[in-house]
Chains A and B, each alone.
Chain A
């Protein structure tokens, strides 16, 4: 039974991940009433096991990033049988920031001008310079650590906290890159290096992705939502949105959601902002098809769900004689390199990748097929020797490869699969392009050279694995032309003036960076514009 008696809040936000958190904060600060629907619950840090001997055994259970493996009540299944990469995400207050590695990378200026500079794909309808003030603001709110002056970016204000230490492995690589003449810089992380607001200082347990027991990682369940609730934001957890409702004027009137008891409730709203990630957002727009919008909401361009980008991910490990202490550290990253980020046509592909230098973890991680590869099996007579060779003596580059938007890579509604409430589940169709494959092979080779120059006695190129679709981008493209984009440059749907999308779905191209910094900055920019234009905003009667 729908509840029609409620008062519509000024803003309804769907999804309590980073974009929803940033938007809710700005709206509340501006005096707007805000309701947020989140299908998950608050993360349960009592399940963080970094203090327990079984940490490595249990890291893939509650904290698994794959919803198909985790199968928590808040999760929806994703059919990835036609995809080269499995999507990974977290359905909870905090969203993907609960389990992200907290690599806080701004996009570079060229990421906003791919068409102009490289003659392919699209430009963004904004520039780095337009987004820069918003990067600086969200970095204060998130408590980012890093160092101003990185030569891979235009000058500007840096993050508020000092960077992670390079540590022994970072120093070896930094020295090697200086000899090679290659870029490196102390890495930006969404990890507090000192106490900062609600964040404690990191203690380098290398458990960042599997439940930070210190409360040092800047996930928005810590940095934003408690404060948002104090500002008056009403956060409803366990609320799975199944459909948005529209009226005869083509405006969204609110959202139908199912609570944990299976009760269907209608939440009214003046404006609705979808922040449900690059899979959840197009899924919801498609689920909301009706007679006025038969192809789904905001889909006159036909692009809702299309142009899915997920960033192929590569890893190269180096083994060193020196004790690097690499069972511990920032996971997170100690330094990054953007030496090969920009296009060089001589390489046979366009665009590039970001590298982040990471520790490798404890002893159980030294035995697994990833990143070591089945051909480097540790078992049998050489077990103890190889284990000691790897444990605390290895460092790895994680490589985020840009993939370009292709309309055939897409999110659709699965004709059979449903979630626990009987709502059609998403299916992803994704193939890695030839450009991406060439790009990855080049970067793996260069990363190997980097570690060899740093003194690695041996290097291992990890097998490409499926469960690396951390970055879900592009499925509701931003642009100025309604025929070739879903939302305008401020996140407003061209077709429905009181429906907005603030998450990574809007990205015209994917960059080769971890996306949370830009997702947060874009959400703040869009929220700021909505606040400024509020007096002109069309709302349902």
Chain B
């Protein structure tokens, strides 16, 4: 289903309520959340489309800030769609990822150094002794089974 330019404008305004610009970071709309990144997200999460279209229809001609406040307090499901879709798209922006120094869930091979041995950390635990209750002797009171 195609998303019209007017709907994208509405989404851009709503998205900027959630993620405005700062000195160092783009706003959601500047990052392309309502444009190409929206299309990317909807390929990954087609389940968001139907709810999104309803939200955009309801938001037409309304003040974005007031509309978002209304959603947050009275329509948790719709608010949940926007608060998943907007940042989900925002964090796909390369410039944003670089600024966050986030390169995805990339591999970080394990350092073979056993850091739990540093500073004699474990000795303190060992010195405090066992912290479990041992199994009672076999002549304990009858059980319920």
Q: Which residues from chain A sit less than 8 Å from chain B, CB to CB?
A: 50-58, 61, 108-110, 112-113, 115-117, 121-123, 125, 127-129, 147, 149, 151-154, 162-167, 170-171, 174-175, 177-178, 181, 183-186, 193, 201-207, 214, 325, 327-328, 335, 338-339, 341-342, 362-364, 367-369, 379-381, 383-385, 387-388, 391, 479-481, 484-485, 508
Interface of A is mostly: loop
Per-residue A-contact encoding for B16-41, CB less than 8 Å = 1, 0 else: 01111010110000000000000011
B130-145 contacts to A (CB < 8 Å): 130-136, 140-141, 143-145
- Give chain B nearest CB distance to A3 CB in angstroms: 40
CA A53 – CA B96 in complex, angstroms? 12
21 intermolecular pairs with C-beta atoms under 8 Å apart: A50-B105, A55-B104, A58-B44, A58-B45, A116-B136, A117-B133, A122-B143, A122-B145, A123-B144, A154-B134, A163-B116, A164-B110, A165-B110, A165-B111, A193-B110, A201-B109, A328-B108, A364-B91, A380-B20, A484-B144, A485-B145
The reply on B125 being an interface residue by CB < 8 A is: yes
Closest chain A residue to B26, Cβ basis: A384
Given contacts A203-B109, A391-B100, contact A152 B121 (CB under 8 A): no
Question: Which residues of chain B are within 8 angstroms of A205 by Cβ–Cβ distance?
Answer: 105-108
Given contacts A166-B115, A205-B106, contact A116 B125 (CB under 8 A): no
- Give chain A nearest CB distance to B75 CB in angstroms: 14
**Size bracket, chain B contacts:** 35 or more
Q: Which residues from chain B sit less than 8 Å from chain A, CB to CB?
A: 17-20, 22, 24-25, 40-41, 44-45, 47, 80, 83-84, 87-88, 91-92, 97, 100, 102, 104-111, 113-116, 118-119, 121-122, 124-126, 128-136, 140-141, 143-145
Q: A109-B135, A368-B84, A381-B20 given; name 9 further pairs at CB < 8 Å.
A: A50-B104, A123-B143, A154-B134, A163-B116, A201-B110, A327-B105, A341-B132, A362-B104, A383-B20
Selected contact of A342 from candidates B40, B115, B131, B145, CB within 8 Å: B131
CA A481 – CA B133 in complex, angstroms? 26
Given contacts A183-B131, A379-B18, contact A55 B105 (CB under 8 A): yes
- Give chain B nearest CB distance to A540 CB in angstroms: 29
Selected contact of A149 from candidates B24, B106, B126, B136, CB within 8 Å: B126
- Give chain B nearest CB distance to A356 CB in angstroms: 15
Question: Which residues of chain B are within 8 angstroms of A364 by Cβ–Cβ distance?
Answer: 87-88, 91
- Residue contact A109 to B133, C-beta cutoff 8 Å: yes
Question: Which residues of chain A are within 8 angstroms of B88 by Cβ–Cβ distance?
Answer: 54, 56-57, 364
Selected contact of A383 from candidates B19, B45, B100, B126, CB within 8 Å: B19
- Give chain A nearest CB distance to B52 CB in angstroms: 14
Given contacts A109-B132, A206-B105, contact A115 B144 (CB under 8 A): yes
Given contacts A147-B116, A174-B121, contact A342 B133 (CB under 8 A): yes
Interface of B is mostly: loop
CA A363 – CA B40 in complex, angstroms? 18
- Residue contact A207 to B111, C-beta cutoff 8 Å: no
- Residue contact A56 to B91, C-beta cutoff 8 Å: yes
Question: Which residues of chain A are within 8 angstroms of B109 by Cβ–Cβ distance?
Answer: 201, 203-204
- Residue contact B135 to A363, C-beta cutoff 8 Å: no
- Residue contact A57 to B17, C-beta cutoff 8 Å: no
CA A112 – CA B124 in complex, angstroms? 28
- Residue contact B41 to A54, C-beta cutoff 8 Å: yes
Closest chain B residue to A185, Cβ basis: B125
Question: Which residues of chain B are within 8 angstroms of A108 by Cβ–Cβ distance?
Answer: 132-133
- Give chain B nearest CB distance to A211 CB in angstroms: 11
Pairs A-B, 5 closest by C-beta atoms: A203-B107, A479-B145, A123-B143, A178-B124, A204-B108
- Residue contact A183 to B125, C-beta cutoff 8 Å: yes
- Residue contact A54 to B44, C-beta cutoff 8 Å: yes
| Residue from the set B106, B107, B125, B140 with the largest chain A CB neighbour count within 10 Å | B125
CA A207 – CA B104 in complex, angstroms? 11
- Give chain A nearest CB distance to B38 CB in angstroms: 12
Selected contact of B143 from candidates A115, A165, A339, A362, CB within 8 Å: A115
Given contacts A149-B126, A379-B18, contact A339 B131 (CB under 8 A): yes
Selected contact of B136 from candidates A58, A113, A170, A327, CB within 8 Å: A113
- Residue contact B87 to A123, C-beta cutoff 8 Å: no
- Give chain B nearest CB distance to A68 CB in angstroms: 14
